Amino acid sequence: MFRAEPLYRVQIMVLASEAQDMALELARFGVFSPARFEDQTLPENPADAYREAWLEAESRLAKLAERCGLTEPPEVPADAVPPSLTDLIGLNNWLGNVWSTCLSATESETRIQEELRHLDALEETLDKLARLDVDLAHLLRADGLLAVHIGSLPSAAVKRVTEALAMTGSLVSLFDHVGDQTYAVIAGPRERDAEVRGVLAQAGWRELPVPVELRTHPDAARAWLAQMRREVEARSGAECAAIDALRAQFRPRLEGARLSLILARPLAEAALVGVRGRGGLACLTGWIPRRQLEALRSALDARFHGRYWLQTAEPARHEASKVPSLVRHPAWLRPFAPLVKAYGVPRYGEFDPTLPFAFTYLLLFGAMFGDIGHGGVILLLAVALRRFLGRFVWVGVSAGAVSMLFGLLYGSVFGYEDLFEPVWLSPLHHPTHVLTLAVTFGVGFISLTLLINARNRLVAGQGAHALFDSGGLAGLVFYLGAVAGLASLAGALDLATPAWSVAAIGLVTVVVYKWAESHAGLGERILVTLIEALETGINLFANTLSFMRVAAFSLNHVALALAVFTLAQGLSFAGHWITIVLGNVVIIVLEGAIVAIQALRLMYYEGFSRFYSGDGREFVPLRLVGAK
């Protein structure tokens, strides 16, 4: 629970023709995280073609699933086998054909819809055509000297088209505007019509086919439009029926295709990281938990009957940054893990701070926001919003519960401090005591982080850093000595001489280490060493004082409640209770949020920054995705 599971680096060699079966088996096993290991002896990428075909097929299936309404994830039978490369390419081609068929049907339907919109526009422009006050039949004669075009173009292109067509001696007359389209009549000399058409083609011009009927009587024109609409709608109905038929025809096989692609996915995903090979062999490389190696061997033996070769190796120390971290948490702790991951993933071998984080975070939150009533509201709100909060509901419930516990210790209910005697103490009446406790807690917290940092450095093979650096044991010795020395000065302890001696030993050790570590010229070396030694002291004590905010917020909580009561006192009965309720809402929302953030800040800044690199890689195993 406190560190990532020990992993083995594994290489599994298998016949290239069985690589997809191996990847599927590993995905079913669920603890193989693929990774690339450079190996000059395996120069080929035997799974690249598989991945490419899978990606294309997956994309086609996703589009078809959207059209055909495939939503239910399929069951994956235990004996299901993934498609071979040939099968996958065949499946991909079939999906391509189905999608092309579907696409052309959809495209036809889209065009029909466009035609219907066009007819709408035509109907709208019919009146305006009538107002053109020209004899269209005469104007549109094919044998006239003038070439005339009636149609629409994007409004944004009108100015440019007008200028360009002026160069051909053509006139542009605008007569309607629908949406972003402008309707126009363009007339120019017939011998330059090719030029006009060239410009219009480039400009997105859409010619209005003005039929004979439209050029004569308006009633005849409307009848013609209605007839056209009926024809288009009939075609639309036919296309819809065709699409439905396609859906019914292809759906069963599409379900099968989806299962095949789910089974093919593990190799396609492994290929992204790199499945290397040579000749007829493929090699899958990655990481598995050490304790599951034998189980994996058994599973592979049962499936492949010895037709594979598995090699394992311990990760070398220098590879720690490349090894993924697999940390398992008990169910009750898992909701806190994302808050730790928000800072970073623990490096392989590094201390995983999720458990101390959860305890300390809750402790800090409760101490700063101790109130039975407010904690109860947070608890109930978390339960009420459980669908929205998901697994974070547990964080809300536990924060509420701890707040209630501290409320009991402080004797506070919705800000009322006099309903019952505090089990421990009231922050308002013992502010110095609370401040001292907060700082003492800070000393303990920082000491713990220094110890953890020393441990992390030791594990990473940085023994000197762990022992002599300011963030290691020497820093801790200095810190504890200085704290005891200061406590003695304040009269809390009587250990001044030994305490300052210990602090001096710690500080000198740090200074000597910094000096040895620095590789600059003499002047720069002196400067760096002095500044870093000074920074050691300032940082540690500034961070310790930072914990005073815990006490400050617990006092602040009471003070806010007092302010609400003072406001409410001068009001009538109704006003009094409205003020009390609203005041408590403000305290819960505003102060609750601030305290939650402050507790997180203390954890990240005063805690994690001292020992937690958080630059690890997450262990992402191959899994069967998209299945029930």
Partner 1 sequence: MSAYLNTRVSLFSGRLWHAEDYDALMQVADEDIGDALNRRGLPQLARGFDNRDPLSLEQRIIAEVLDETRVLLRPLHGAERAFLIYWTERFEVTNLKTLLRGKMTGERPAALLARLTPMGAFGRLDAQTLAHAEDVVELLRRLEAGPYAGIVRQARRAFEDSRDPFMLDAALDRHYYEGLVRRAQPLEDALGAPMRKLMGALIDRINLVWLLRYRFNYNLPPAQVYFLLVASRYALPSAMLRELAALGSFDAVLGALPAPMRARLADTTDIAALFARMDGSAAELAGRILRSGAPPLARAFAYLLLRERDLRAVRAILRGRHLGLPADDIRLAIAHDPGGNA
- Helix or strand or coil: residue 483? helix
Q: Which helix (H) or strand (E) holds 501?
A: helix 496-517
- Helix or strand or coil: residue 407? helix
Q: How far is the CB of 189 from partner 1 (least distance, A)?
A: 12
Decide: is 161 part of the binding site for partner 1 (CB under 8 A): yes
Q: Which of 3, 177, 206, 322 binds partner 1 (CB under 8 A)?
A: 206
In this complex, which beta carbon is closest to partner 1, that of residue 92 or of residue 285? 92
In this complex, which beta carbon is closest to partner 1, that of residue 199 or of residue 466? 199
Q: Which of 30, 96, 144, 237 binds partner 1 (CB under 8 A)?
A: 96
Q: How far is the CB of 192 from partner 1 (least distance, A)?
A: 8
Q: How far is the CB of 39 from partner 1 (least distance, A)?
A: 19
Q: How far is the CB of 298 from partner 1 (least distance, A)?
A: 37
Cα angle: 296, vertex 627, 45; to 5 degrees: 60
Q: How far is the CB of 104 from partner 1 (least distance, A)?
A: 9
Decide: is 163 part of the binding site for partner 1 (CB under 8 A): yes
Q: Which of 179, 204, 218, 575 binds partner 1 (CB under 8 A)?
A: 204
Q: How many C-beta atoms surround the C-beta of residue 573 within 10 A?
A: 7
Distances (CA, A) of 514 to 175, 192, 410, 517, 531: 84, 86, 46, 5, 10
| Interface segment toward partner 1; rule CB under 8 A; list 7-15, 103-111, 336-344, 455-463 | 103-111
Q: Which of 27, 105, 148, 164 binds partner 1 (CB under 8 A)?
A: 164
| Interface segment toward partner 1; rule CB under 8 A; list 100-108, 253-261, 263-271, 602-610 | 100-108
- The encoded tokens of residue 517 equal 């570590």
Decide: is 524 part of the binding site for partner 1 (CB under 8 A): no
Burial class (CB in 10 A: 0-12, 13-18, 19+), 159: exposed
- Helix or strand or coil: residue 288? strand
What are the φ/ψ torsions at residue 111 (nearest 5 degrees)? Answer: -65, -35
In this complex, which beta carbon is closest to partner 1, that of residue 201 or of residue 574? 201
- DSSP E strands, 302-379: 308-313, 324-325
65: amino acid identity, one letter: A
Site string for partner 1, 44-73 (x = CB under 8 A): --------x--xx--xx-------------
| Interface segment toward partner 1; rule CB under 8 A; list 195-203, 436-444, 501-509, 515-523 | 195-203
| Binders of partner 1 in range 175-194 (CB under 8 A) | 194
- Cross-strand pairs, 181: 154, 178
Q: Which of 328, 337, 327 is nearest to 394 (CA)?
A: 337
In this complex, which beta carbon is closest to partner 1, that of residue 122 or of residue 326? 122
Please state, in angstroms and rounded to a whole number, the distance separating the CA atoms of residues 187 and 273: 63
Report the phi/psi class of residue 496: left, alpha or beta, with left for phi > 0 and alpha for psi in -120 to 50. alpha
Cα angle: 359, vertex 360, 361; to 5 degrees: 95
Q: How far is the CB of 270 from partner 1 (least distance, A)?
A: 17
Q: Which of 20, 33, 125, 168 binds partner 1 (CB under 8 A)?
A: 168
Q: How far is the CB of 55 from partner 1 (least distance, A)?
A: 7
Decide: is 165 part of the binding site for partner 1 (CB under 8 A): yes
Strand 33-34 relative to strand 7-15, pairing: unpaired
Decide: is 151 part of the binding site for partner 1 (CB under 8 A): no
Site string for partner 1, 423-462 (x = CB under 8 A): ----------------------------------------
Decide: is 273 part of the binding site for partner 1 (CB under 8 A): no
Please state, in angstroms and rounded to a whole number, the distance separating the CA atoms of residues 315 and 302: 27
In this complex, which beta carbon is closest to partner 1, that of residue 14 or of residue 57? 57
Decide: is 156 part of the binding site for partner 1 (CB under 8 A): yes
In this complex, which beta carbon is closest to partner 1, that of residue 172 or of residue 466? 172
Q: Which of 195, 213, 255, 517 binds partner 1 (CB under 8 A)?
A: 195
In this complex, which beta carbon is closest to partner 1, that of residue 192 or of residue 430? 192
In this complex, which beta carbon is closest to partner 1, that of residue 56 or of residue 87? 56
- The encoded tokens of residue 608 equal 């994690």
Residue 235 CB contacts under 8 Å (≥ 6 apart), including other chains = 112
- The encoded tokens of residue 62 equal 């996703």
In this complex, which beta carbon is closest to partner 1, that of residue 206 or of residue 617? 206
- Helix or strand or coil: residue 489? helix
Q: How far is the CB of 198 from partner 1 (least distance, A)?
A: 4
Query: If you ran DSSP here, which 8-state letter would residue 472 be given?
Result: S
Distances (CA, A) of 178 to 10, 125, 128, 246: 66, 9, 12, 36
- The encoded tokens of residue 279 equal 């000749």
In this complex, which beta carbon is closest to partner 1, that of residue 111 or of residue 525? 111
In the chain, the N- to C-terminal Cα span, in Å, equals: 30
Q: How far is the CB of 266 from partner 1 (least distance, A)?
A: 19
Please state, in angstroms and rounded to a whole number, the distance separating the CA atoms of residues 109 and 282: 47
In this complex, which beta carbon is closest to partner 1, that of residue 163 or of residue 524? 163
- The encoded tokens of residue 302 equal 């049962």
| Backbone Cα Rg of the chain | 38
Distances (CA, A) of 502 to 451, 453, 467, 512, 514: 17, 20, 15, 15, 18
Q: State the number of CA atoms in the 13 A half-sphere of 454 facing the CB.
A: 17
Decide: is 99 part of the binding site for partner 1 (CB under 8 A): yes
Contact indicator for 251, 70 with CB cutoff of 8 Å:
yes
Decide: is 501 part of the binding site for partner 1 (CB under 8 A): no
In this complex, which beta carbon is closest to partner 1, that of residue 109 or of residue 123? 109
In this complex, which beta carbon is closest to partner 1, that of residue 104 or of residue 249? 104
Decide: is 160 part of the binding site for partner 1 (CB under 8 A): yes
Total site size for partner 1, rule CB under 8 A: 33
List residues binding partner 1 (CB under 8 A).
52, 55-56, 59-60, 96, 99-100, 103, 107, 110, 154, 156-157, 160-161, 163-168, 194-196, 198-199, 201-206
